[in-house]
Amino acid sequence: MDLLSDILSRLRLAGTLYFRTSFTSPWSVRVPPYHHVARFHYAHSGRCFVRVDDAPEPVLLDQGDLIIITRGATHTLFCDPITEGAALTVDQVVEKSGFTGRGTLVYGEPGTNFETQLVCGHFSFDEHARHPLIEALPAHLLIRDYGETAGPWMENTLRVIGAEAGRERMGSDLIALKMSEIIFAQALRSYLIDEGADKPVLAGFSDPAIAAALGAIHEAPDRAWTLNDLARIAGMSRTAFAGRFGQLLGMTPMTYITDWRMQIARQMLADSDAAIIDIAEETGYQSEAAFGRVFKKHFGTPPATYRREVKAAA
């Protein structure tokens, strides 16, 4: 599995669609904060403004644009600046529209030609999932002409999502839901290649040499990696590799390896009944005691206790 796919799979990326909207002027909606998710809005038709977390300037979301609010911050969607101050909460809009959770959320003045159709939802990760790539993302990602940017296949995918979301045809919800999970991966890939290529931490995943070393770590997280091994894969000297890795990712290669091993261990403890020694060996530790010390330092609780708590909560 490639580097980005492995990260998103381990963090348990899952898409959730709320609804497809048909908003007609005047309208303004305030969306509350939500932890552990990245909210998204895709402009299937029409346009609107989005102000994220009381930012000084709103973002214009035009037809075909995609915005992802990466940490689920409060944001307001509105058709015109003069309507922003009169924003209703999502719950109020749902109540006034009579939306039942099926079909399209229709709200606003009837008979107007100014309609905005949005496909709205969120992407979630496991509660304890952490990764520097996700944590380094800005407050929002905006990708103009998303379908065109990602390529013809994504443009067709978005058309299908827009056509299926909110339709009361057999299988529509499942089709739109599963396709929505593609959006985050493709949006992140586009951002890393373009705007994120020179930003702290994110640049490390775009740098060919560092990305090659990261890919090797993800392919064999249990290997007893040395700085020399990774430098050789990156095609650099040991000193140059360590310096560049630290400069781009803000941590040492060994810190990254440990953090990633702990994410794998966390997932295995939550999802399987594998013996702790087996999980230890799977993540590169030769003894249960050594693994337990690192895990407790990382998550604040021993592996066995973590497993019991997660399974009890589930």
d(CA 124, CA 111): 37
Domain 207-313 has CATH 3.30.70.1560: no
At a CB cut-off of 8 Å and minimum separation 6, what does 299 contact? 128, 262, 266, 306
pLDDT at 313: 84
Q: What is the mean pLDDT of residues 95-111?
A: 83
* pLDDT over 80 at 15, yes or no: no
> pLDDT confidence of 263, banded at 50, 70, 90?
very high
pLDDT at 73: 92
Domain made up of 3-197: CATH architecture: Sandwich (2.60)
> pLDDT confidence of 265, banded at 50, 70, 90?
very high
Listed residue (225, 259, 253, 251) closest to 241, CA to CA? 253
* pLDDT over 70 at 308, yes or no: yes
Lowest mean pLDDT among 60-69, 74-83, 106-115, 251-260: 106-115
* pLDDT over 80 at 16, yes or no: no
> How would you class 121 by CB atoms within 10 Å of its CB: exposed for 0-12, middle for 13-18, buried for 19 or more?
buried
Q: What is the mean pLDDT of residues 57-86?
A: 93
**Residue 58: cis peptide before it, omega within 30 degrees of 0:** no
> pLDDT confidence of 182, banded at 50, 70, 90?
confident
* pLDDT over 90 at 314, yes or no: no
Residue 108 Ramachandran class (φ > 0 left, ψ -120 to 50 alpha, else beta): left
**Bridge partner residues of 78 (DSSP):** 28, 49
Q: What is the mean pLDDT of residues 131-153?
A: 81
Q: What is the mean pLDDT of residues 128-144?
A: 90
Q: What angle do CA 40, 41, 44 make, to 5 degrees?
A: 145
Which strands, in side-by-side order, build the sheet including 140-143? 104-108, 14-24, 115-124, 37-45, 66-69, 140-143
In the chain, CATH 2.60.120.280 sits at 3-197
In the chain, CATH 1.10.10.60 sits at 207-313
More confident residue, 18 or 23: 23
* pLDDT over 80 at 98, yes or no: yes
pLDDT at 159: 63
pLDDT at 136: 93
d(CA 296, CA 305): 10
Task: Quote the tokens at residue 310.
Answer: 């997660």
More confident residue, 301 or 171: 301
> pLDDT confidence of 303, banded at 50, 70, 90?
very high
pLDDT at 10: 87
pLDDT at 48: 96
Span 191-244, pLDDT tens digits: 888 888 889 999 999 999 999 999 999 999 999 999 999 999 999 999 999 999
- Average pLDDT value for the chain: 88
**Bridge partner residues of 23 (DSSP):** 107, 116
* pLDDT over 60 at 3, yes or no: yes
d(CA 295, CA 306): 10
pLDDT at 154: 62
Q: What is the number of residues in the chain?
A: 314
Q: What angle do CA 36, 38, 41 make, to 5 degrees?
A: 150
pTM over 0.95: no
> pLDDT confidence of 59, banded at 50, 70, 90?
very high
pLDDT at 37: 86
